[in-house]
A and B are shown apart, each in its own frame.
Chain A
Amino acid sequence: MTRALSGDAPTLPQEVQRTLHAHPAISPTLILVAAWITFTVINPRFLQPGALSLLVQQTAIVAILAVGQTLILLTAGIDLSVGAVCVLAAMVMAKITSEQGVPGVLAILIGIAVAMAAGLLNGILVTRLKLPPFIVTLGTLSIFTAIALLYSKGATIESGVLPGELNSTGHTWSVGAFRITAGVLLVLLVYVVVGVALRKTAWGRHVYAVGDDAQAAGLAGVRVGRVLLSVYVVAGVIYGIGAWVMIGRVGGASPNAVVDANLESITAVVIGGTSLFGGRGGLLGTLLGALIVQSFSVGLALAGVDGQFRLLAVGILVILAVSVDQWIRQVKA
């Protein structure tokens, strides 16, 4: 009955398939290592500590938004409103401090609360009205973008008029030749906390179960609607924290800061090996996926490749990642 007893030895491709199936972070790790080696050979500046520090800082915003996106993809959903929610939260944080004089810490909390409310709205529409997440978030993408634009009039609020707390995610420390920002540390903290919750708690188990087979999870006694709702709310909170990170990185709150975040976050998650069909994947892969996308962007730029070709390369990576996912999913007993 078990594999060992089945008699016929698995072929090499089957072995590879099974290994990747058991450890989905392997393929993004390999891609990242290969990319780093290649780009360093082409331009040795790529792997200098300074350049590497910048790479990590540049990845931070997409990386944190991709945490929320991972949660939602794990439930077989998708969130197209990521960037809009993040921008809305950032504009709220910046405006209420600069115009209403709300203290920094409170403003950050209010901004996060706004993002959480946005996530709650998505979640309610998905769970109560039973609308497909794609449609829901396509709609709220426009709604949140419009609100953010009306509220901000499209203008950036510069860091100069913001209290120190809002800018604190941009604070930089030097560790040897490396430079680490508070924002990067915050992003890593979010990865650890959500990662532990996914792996070690009943909630995490239910998130996977709901995405894997919502009907089976429901029959087993998992409250599917509640789990889904919680995922959208948690994702909203994460986007709110992302807004704070963004203010530190951008040097102010910009309504146009993360225009590409929706597709970039989905790209990072998918390249990181999380399945678009739910139930499979994890945060380690997402972090690697985000790093891969940015590494390609920087590495190809340093290699003197035009922007259009960089777009092309990322496109090929996505197709490749999804193909590998499909292949891995076909693993048989």
Chain B
Amino acid sequence: MTAASDPGVTAQNDAPEPATGVVLRAEGLTKKFGQVVGLAGVDLHVGAGEVLGVIGDNGAGKSTLINCLTGALTPDSGQLYLDGEPVVFRRPQDAREAGIETVYQTLGVAPALDIASNLFLGREIRRGGVAGQLFRFLDQRAMQQKAEVFLKQLGILTIQNMKQSVETLSGGQRQAIAVARAAAFGSKVVVLDEPTAALGVKESNLVLDMVRQLRDRGLGIVLVSHNMPNVWAVSDRIHVQRLGTCAAVLRPQTHTMSEGVAIMTGAAVV
């Protein structure tokens, strides 16, 4: 497939730019798994205070793309830029330390642990002095107070007890915890992988509200979803992934959902 005959590339070049500065940019990402091509040269960017939707059929390379952005996979070639600086992520920790948080499809919360512990898992607040430095004693009060603040900021303070274990929460509440964690620590970009897949309508709306709040705080958001109404509801731009490449970048104002699906499935080209 040459670049000139690829409708996706054309579309990408015509794609609308974000209103503010680009925070995360990917150029020419490729990834092969043996003979199987996961990504065949994908470009993507998201601006601060912008929601980029990512849609695509199963096998289109959505997950591979997301994993390359968040450090779960390292691309074979291509380059990531964060705030214009080239970056390489070898592990999820690298991406996280650089300010990219991910909300995983599998929730990524430990059900038996309480809310505060989950919010701070792997990044616990420790006490001062020897107790905290050497013995890694936790400052549980600080974690609970901060947890309460996080949840309050995101408007999900219907959960009152930060000591409540996560498994006693509803699916939407659990997802809210996962999003809150990303929001609390993601300084630049938050990637959400199918955040509403297991949720009902009301709970999905709660999560979408949180996405808008994060956007309003100036974070760049990448939202991967199969749920077209959700994507159309919150995205500023929509990246359509097809056969390992970017088939088009749309705006919800200019394209309808069925047009998007048609491009996604190859029934139409841009």
Residues of chain A touching chain B, judged by Cβ–Cβ distance below 8 Å, are: 1-3, 5, 18, 21-22, 197, 200-203, 205-206, 208-209, 212-213, 215-217, 219-222, 279-280, 331-333
Contact = CB atoms under 8 A, between A and B. Distances in A.
Q: Which 3 A-B pairs have the closest CB atoms?
A: A221-B122, A220-B121, A212-B110
Tell me the dominant secondary structure on chain A's binding face.
Answer: helix
Interface string B49-63: 000000000000000
B113 A219 contact: no
Contact of B110 (A2, A200, A203, A216): A216
Contacts of A332: 168
B159 A209 contact: no
Contacts of A208: 110, 112-113, 117
A216 B126 contact: no
B109 A216 contact: yes
Nearest to B97: A221
Nearest to B170: A333
A165 to B, nearest CB: 27
Contact of A200 (B102, B138, B167, B168): B138
Given A5-B158, A209-B121, A222-B121, A202 B110 contact: no
Interface in B111-154: 111-113, 117-118, 121-124, 126, 135-138, 140
Tell me the dominant secondary structure on chain B's binding face.
Answer: loop
A5 B47 CA distance: 39
B160 interface: yes
B108 interface: yes
Given A212-B110, A220-B109, 7 more contacts: A1-B173, A3-B168, A197-B135, A212-B112, A220-B110, A220-B181, A333-B167
Interface string B163-195: 001011110110000000100000000000000
A219 B124 contact: no
A149 B86 CA distance: 61
Contacts of A197: 135
A333 B168 contact: yes
B13 interface: no
Given A205-B117, A217-B110, A333-B170, A2 B159 contact: yes
Contacts of B135: 197, 201
Contacts of B110: 208-209, 212-213, 216-217, 220, 279
- Interface-central residue, A3, A18, A213, A331, by most chain B CB under 10 Å: A213
Contact of A212 (B113, B158, B169, B170): B113
B77 interface: no
Contacts of A1: 158-159, 170, 172-173
B220 interface: no
Contacts of A206: 121-122
A155 to B, nearest CB: 42
B169 A333 contact: yes
B168 A202 contact: no
B113 A205 contact: yes
- Interface-central residue, A201, A203, A215, A219, by most chain B CB under 10 Å: A219
Given A203-B136, A205-B124, A221-B122, A215 B113 contact: no
Contact of A216 (B93, B96, B106): B106
Contacts of A21: 165, 168
Contacts of B102: 219
A195 to B, nearest CB: 13
B8 interface: no
B107 A202 contact: no
B168 A331 contact: yes
A219 B159 contact: no
A205 B112 contact: no
A69 to B, nearest CB: 19
B104 interface: yes
Given A5-B158, A202-B136, A212 B111 contact: yes
A45 B106 CA distance: 56
A57 B170 CA distance: 46
9 contacts: A201-B135, A205-B138, A209-B110, A217-B121, A217-B122, A221-B93, A221-B122, A331-B167, A331-B168
A170 to B, nearest CB: 31
